[in-house]
Structure 1
């Protein structure tokens, strides 16, 4: 019996997916969750064979951030991400980095293909929707320079500009200039938003 942990926004859609999966004789849903930060602790407790996750699960961590931790903590658990084509384009390089350890399947897929995808991931086989792969591979290049990415990576933990400047042997004013350019390039209003945009796009 393949045990599935289901992480999906929307009570109605989550319930429908759980019903479809549970109707299969070799699948059972062991948990239904609606927040990304609940996935790892519940998965650690339930030890599922497959985690089927909505790419846009809400929470303080993104699914992109969650997947490496999930794979490291539960190496026997396969991960299958359910996402749409625009989301896969936004993930870009991040999507390419996670495959084939993490499988990707489109929300437009048939229930039969979804069920088979869960089985494939449980067997350790790669699952990558062809249309999603094309969208990811044709996603735009990062608008950030190497130095801007370096500054943003150091800013992830809330490091103040003065400490980033010390680490990179720059002046604090120069770091602030980099951060201003990063906000402009990403279209973000805050540093936190810029970090999230860059992480989701696979730029850092």
Structure 2
């Protein structure tokens, strides 16, 4: 984009409050023009075809069915900036990373100013990647723990007993104990606390 050009932005976010707040923030920037504000992924392709935005700012957990590859194919001149929670599965984050620089990735807890800067950057062809998200995803990609084992261990970090974990996950106490035994083996830990410490340090939970 040339200097001084207005960046046309399409915003899609699952939360009404945040959606409205972000739209307001963008509207205060003289070089950003919010052309559409959406709450569902199924609206994105049609709105993109109609509005021809320069940048899509999309919640990675926007409700509905949307593949970023489809957006890129249908709108080859549009860049996509994904807003990701830090607990988004590593596979999803790595899938987005492989599509840079046209797809950028930034954490949902970033500041409004940093988000606006990211929009300007990706609109001008720069690579926009949240380094902490990338590093966490790369570490988690080697995670030996299953999704259920991670759930169990996260509950253990809250101080929950095996019985309390079982109730929260609708499992039997015996099943939870089996999960905990496998977690200790995989993390090479002697106690649950040591397993938690090792898993957190490795970025597995």
1:13 aligns with 2:18: yes
Residue 84 of structure 2 corresponds to which residue in structure 1? 83
d(CA) in 1 for partners of 2:142 and 2:62? Answer: 25
Residue 73 of structure 1 corresponds to which residue in structure 2? 74
Give the alignment of 1:116-195 within 5 angstroms.
116-141=117-142
Q: Answer yes or no: is the 8 Å Cα contact 1:88–1:135 preserved in 2.
A: no
Residue 141 of structure 1: CA displacement? 4.8
d(CA) in 2 for partners of 1:128 and 1:23? Answer: 24
Q: TM-score, normalization: structure 2? A: 0.64
What is the DSSP-based 3-state SS (H/G/I as helix, E as strand, rest coil) of the residue aligned with 1:85? coil
Residue 71 of structure 1: CA displacement? 0.9
Tell which structure's C-alpha radius of gyration is larger. 2
Residue 37 of structure 1: CA displacement? 1.0
d(CA) in 2 for partners of 1:92 and 1:119? Answer: 21
What is the DSSP-based 3-state SS (H/G/I as helix, E as strand, rest coil) of the residue aligned with 1:9? coil
Pairs aligned (count): 139
Q: Answer yes or no: is the 8 Å Cα contact 2:101–2:125 preserved in 1.
A: no
Residue 194 of structure 2 corresponds to which residue in structure 1? none
Question: Aligned Cα RMSD in Å?
Answer: 1.7
- Give unpaired runs (5+ residues) of structure 2: 1-5, 145-205
Q: Answer yes or no: is the 8 Å Cα contact 2:93–2:134 preserved in 1.
A: no
The 3 A distance-change label for structure 1 pair 81 and 92 is closer
User: CA deviation digits over 1:168-190, x for unaligned, max 9?
Assistant: xxxxxxxxxxxxxxxxxxxxxxx
Give the alignment of 1:93-112 within 5 angstroms.
93-112=94-113
**Larger RCO of the pair (alpha carbons < 8 Å, separation 6+):** 1
Residue 93 of structure 1: CA displacement? 3.2
1:40 aligns with 2:22: no
Q: TM-score, normalization: structure 1? A: 0.64
Q: After alignment, is 24-33 or 133-142 more displaced?
A: 133-142
